[in-house]
């Protein structure tokens, strides 16, 4: 180790920690750790390896530090985030922009030097009297073309504990890292009061694209504090842009078709819009529920789950709808609950299908029914964005290829949002580019509690990846379009809508109907179901859906239901196209021309159909 770095670390690390750092032999890593120590001034520094003993150590520390509290069932703990720290904070998540560089008009940026001064100012001395933990993880399976090495430095045992459940540990993998080819994350929870970050006004999450480094301070909420989750996704999008692969906000799942066939799908849905519940459909197998990398390998689109666990929204998880997750959440085993209600050592959450106690402890501290906050708003028993953190390996339906270093071949890509009035429940695009543009790049969704701010507002969210884009939008779309050039056969592209409402405002489809749509998509990948050509894509035939409803859900499916659900709402579709066109014409400065051409062609098809058949066209009239 460089004597300069050794001098900074001297006296802070025990012999094992020092030996671990030395053994990595990476000067760039040593410099990062030494800089973090000099800046944050921790009392001690602990360097973790990959073994069970280190995991045990961090579990213990999370409890001893008060960041987690043990619940009644063995292995269950609860963590609370501050009252104003209950979701991803987009306002204060910014890119540090080097001079003479531009990320286009759509990303939240700050001048690099000004941002570094600000965030490093908040981190200065932030770990005094505390232990700093240095932990290594691998995004994607280890020893794979997809692997990306990361180091997380934090003073929060909760953050590292969560990451141990959510990612593959990567100390050994780090030995193969060359030079500075790794992502760096430096986090401090900042000043604490009752174990939660006490200075929300000084919350900052700054992404230094010049150094593949993320600084996060004065926050504990996982989406802001765990570098490996959405912060690493941003860095990965940039890396993928340079190297010709894709980093997406998508699940990966195995769909079980006829004759024991398994076809893999990936799917992009904005947060809290059915992504995890799709990946968890009964009878199918899950590879991952949140982030996927894609590479063209041997002319095939292949994908991995970047993660190894679920940081899932717990609201509405109930035994009847989610039996596999429910089992994990209600039996002994390692689970971190966050921002739920606790009463007598038991966790409660909204929509769990069980009577919720009228008092307990929640994200507001001691809680009772009717408690109001400083703004006069009633505080719910549990937060709507309350979460559970578990390892995927605990799930009975984990796909056998979950850890495959080559990933899984992708047969279909699905896009879906919270859309009350436009899209039909399922349709297939005409080809890759049509799907990427009119489905992925046209995704809109009503906002949810996963981010701070108003809920229920229709928002544009291309590929459900808008919050995490780290390159200009047009460039990102172009990368998606170009990806197919390296493939013998591009995956089919589908759009789904689980949130379509009828004239009376009621949902037109049931919670479990997605199990049918996915089987139809599986058949389409293999050319085993016919479809009707509409102006916006291919639509299922009634007879095929009827058979599938019977087989998959043992339920009748009437022609009336089909007609109501699959009637093309042309005025709504045209209005949506205008909204999307306006964004690409006015707000995005580098829109590829093919995007506008494709949207215009779709508008013309819809207008022609309207001229021939009116505003609302039954699928039986197509």
Catalytic residue among 109, 138, 142, 273: 273
Task: Clarify whether 40 is annotated catalytic.
Answer: no
5 binds, among Mn ion, ligand OXD, none (CB under 5 to 8 A by kind): none
CB neighbour list of residue 87: distance below 8 Å, 6 or more residues apart: 221, 223, 385, 449, 450, 451, 452
Q: What value, to the nearest 5°, has the Cα angle with vertex 160 and ends 159 and 161?
A: 90
Closest approach of Cβ 230 to ligand OXD, in Å? 6
Name the region of 128 (left: φ>0; alpha: ψ -120 to 50; beta: rest). beta
Nearer to ligand OXD, 162 or 271 (CB): 271
Nearer to Mn ion, 306 or 382 (CB): 306
| Helix axes 52-64 and 157-166, enclosed angle (nearest 10) | 140
Nearer to Mn ion, 182 or 468 (CB): 468
Nearer to Mn ion, 241 or 290 (CB): 290
88 binds, among Mn ion, ligand OXD, none (CB under 5 to 8 A by kind): ligand OXD
* Measured torsion, CA atoms of residues 346, 351, 354, 358, in degrees rounded to the nearest 10: 70
472 binds, among ligand OXD, Mn ion, none (CB under 5 to 8 A by kind): none
DSSP 126: T
Closest approach of Cβ 249 to ligand OXD, in Å? 7
| Of the candidates 130, 133, 99, 134, the residue with the CA atom closest to the CA atom of residue 116 | 99
Strands (E), 98-233: 109-111, 131-139, 148-154, 168-169, 183-188, 192-193, 196-197, 204-208, 213-217
Nearer to ligand OXD, 40 or 291 (CB): 291
| Number of C-beta neighbours around residue 7 at 10 A | 11
> Is residue 54 a contact residue for Mn ion (CB under 5 A)?
no
Closest approach of Cβ 148 to ligand OXD, in Å? 18
d(C-alpha 411, C-alpha 521), whole Å: 9
Strands (E), 339-478: 341-343, 346-348, 359-362, 365-368, 387-391, 408-416, 426-428, 444-446, 458-460
450 binds, among ligand OXD, Mn ion, none (CB under 5 to 8 A by kind): ligand OXD
Strands 213-217 and 183-188: parallel
> Is residue 322 a contact residue for Mn ion (CB under 5 A)?
no
Closest approach of Cβ 88 to ligand OXD, in Å? 5
Which positions touch ligand OXD (CB under 6 A)? 88, 223, 271, 290, 311, 450
Nearer to Mn ion, 50 or 163 (CB): 163
Cα 191 to Cα 67, 126, 203, 557, distances in angstroms: 13, 7, 11, 57
d(C-alpha 348, C-alpha 340), whole Å: 6
Closest approach of Cβ 271 to Mn ion, in Å? 5
Nearer to Mn ion, 290 or 334 (CB): 290
483 binds, among ligand OXD, Mn ion, none (CB under 5 to 8 A by kind): none
> Is residue 289 a contact residue for Mn ion (CB under 5 A)?
no
447 binds, among ligand OXD, Mn ion, none (CB under 5 to 8 A by kind): none
Name the region of 458 (left: φ>0; alpha: ψ -120 to 50; beta: rest). beta
Residues 438-477 that bind Mn ion (CB under 5 A): none
223 binds, among ligand OXD, Mn ion, none (CB under 5 to 8 A by kind): ligand OXD
Residue nearest to Mn ion (CB): 290
Residues 255-274 that bind Mn ion (CB under 5 A): 271
| Bridge partners, 569 (sequence order) | 616
112 binds, among ligand OXD, Mn ion, none (CB under 5 to 8 A by kind): none
> Is residue 334 a contact residue for Mn ion (CB under 5 A)?
no
Closest approach of Cβ 137 to ligand OXD, in Å? 17
> Is residue 307 a contact residue for Mn ion (CB under 5 A)?
no
DSSP 380: P
Do 588 and 476 meet the contact criterion of CB atoms below 8 Å apart? Answer: no
> Is residue 290 a contact residue for Mn ion (CB under 5 A)?
yes
Closest approach of Cβ 309 to ligand OXD, in Å? 12
Q: What value, to the nearest 5°, has the Cα angle with vertex 326 and ends 323 and 331?
A: 125
Tokens 């004759």 map to which residue? 259
Nearer to ligand OXD, 279 or 436 (CB): 279
d(C-alpha 42, C-alpha 12), whole Å: 8
Closest approach of Cβ 158 to ligand OXD, in Å? 15
Catalytic residues: 273
Q: Which residues bind Mn ion (CB under 5 A)?
A: 271, 290
């Amino acid at each position: 180790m460089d004597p300069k770095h050794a001098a900074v670390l001297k006296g802070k690390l025990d012999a094992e920690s020092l030996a671990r750092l030395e053994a990595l032999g990476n000067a760039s890593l040593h410099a990062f750790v030494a800089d973090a120590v000099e800046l944050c001034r921790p009392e001690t520094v602990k360097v973790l390896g990959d073994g069970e003993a280190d995991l045990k150590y961090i579990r213990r520390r999370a409890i001893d530090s008060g960041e987690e509290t043990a619940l009644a069932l063995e292995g269950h703990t609860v963590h609370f985030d501050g009252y104003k720290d209950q979701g991803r904070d987009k306002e204060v998540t910014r890119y540090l922009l080097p001079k003479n560089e531009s990320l286009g008009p759509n990303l939240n940026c700050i001048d690099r030097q000004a941002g570094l001064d600000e965030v490093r100012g908040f981190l200065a001395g932030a770990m005094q009297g505390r232990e700093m933990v240095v932990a290594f993880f691998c995004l994607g399976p280890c020893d794979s073309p997809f692997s990306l090495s990361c180091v997380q430095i934090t003073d929060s045992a909760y953050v590292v504990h969560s990451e141990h459940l959510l990612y593959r540990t990567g100390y050994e993998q780090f030995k193969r890292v060359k030079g500075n080819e790794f992502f760096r994350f430096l986090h401090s929870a900042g000043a604490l009061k009752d174990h939660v970050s006490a200075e929300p006004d000084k919350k900052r999450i700054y992404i230094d694209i010049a150094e593949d480094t993320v600084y996060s301070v004065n926050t504990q909420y996982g989406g802001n504090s765990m570098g490996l989750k959405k912060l690493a996704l941003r860095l990965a999008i940039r890396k993928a842009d340079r190297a010709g692969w894709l980093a997406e906000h998508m699940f990966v799942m195995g769909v079980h078709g006829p004759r024991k066939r398994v076809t893999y799908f990936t799917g992009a849905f904005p947060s809290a819009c059915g992504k995890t519940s799709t990946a968890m459909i009964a009878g199918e197998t899950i590879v991952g529920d949140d982030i996927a990398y894609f590479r063209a390998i041997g002319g095939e689109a292949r994908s991995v789950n970047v993660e190894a666990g679920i940081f899932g929204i717990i609201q509405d998880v109930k035994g009847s709808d989610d039996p596999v997750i429910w089992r994990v959440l209600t039996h002994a085993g390692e689970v971190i609950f966050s921002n739920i209600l606790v009463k007598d050592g038991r966790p409660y959450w909204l929509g769990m299908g069980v009577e919720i106690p009228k008092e307990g402890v929640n994200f507001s501290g001691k809680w009772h029914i009717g408690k109001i906050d400083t703004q006069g708003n009633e505080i719910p028993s549990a937060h709507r964005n309350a979460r559970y953190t578990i390892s995927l390996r605990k799930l009975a339906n984990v796909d056998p290829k979950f850890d495959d270093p080559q990933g899984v071949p992708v047969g279909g890509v699905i896009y879906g949002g919270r859309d009350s009035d436009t899209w039909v429940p399922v349709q297939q695009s005409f080809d890759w580019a049509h799907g990427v543009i009119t489905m992925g790049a046209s995704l809109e969704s009503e906002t949810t509690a996963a981010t701070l701010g108003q809920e229920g507002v229709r928002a544009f969210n291309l590929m459900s990846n808008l919050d995490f884009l780290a390159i200009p939008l047009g460039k990102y779309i172009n990368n998606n379009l170009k990806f197919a050039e390296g493939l013998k056969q591009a995956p089919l592209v589908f759009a789904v809508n689980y949130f379509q409402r009828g004239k009376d405002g009621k949902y037109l489809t049931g919670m479990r109907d997605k199990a049918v749509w996915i089987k139809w998509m599986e058949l389409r990948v293999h050319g085993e179901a016919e479809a009707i050509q509409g102006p916006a894509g291919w639509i299922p035939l009634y007879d095929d859906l009827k058979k599938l409803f019977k087989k998959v859900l043992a339920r009748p499916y009437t022609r009336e239901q089909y007609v109501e659900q699959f009637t093309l709402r042309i005025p709504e579709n045209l209005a949506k196209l205008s909204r999307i066109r306006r964004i690409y014409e006015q707000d995005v400065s580098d829109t590829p021309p093919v995007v506008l051409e494709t949207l215009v062609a779709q508008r013309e098809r819809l207008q022609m159909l309207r001229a021939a058949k009116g505003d609302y066209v039954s699928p039986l009239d197509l």
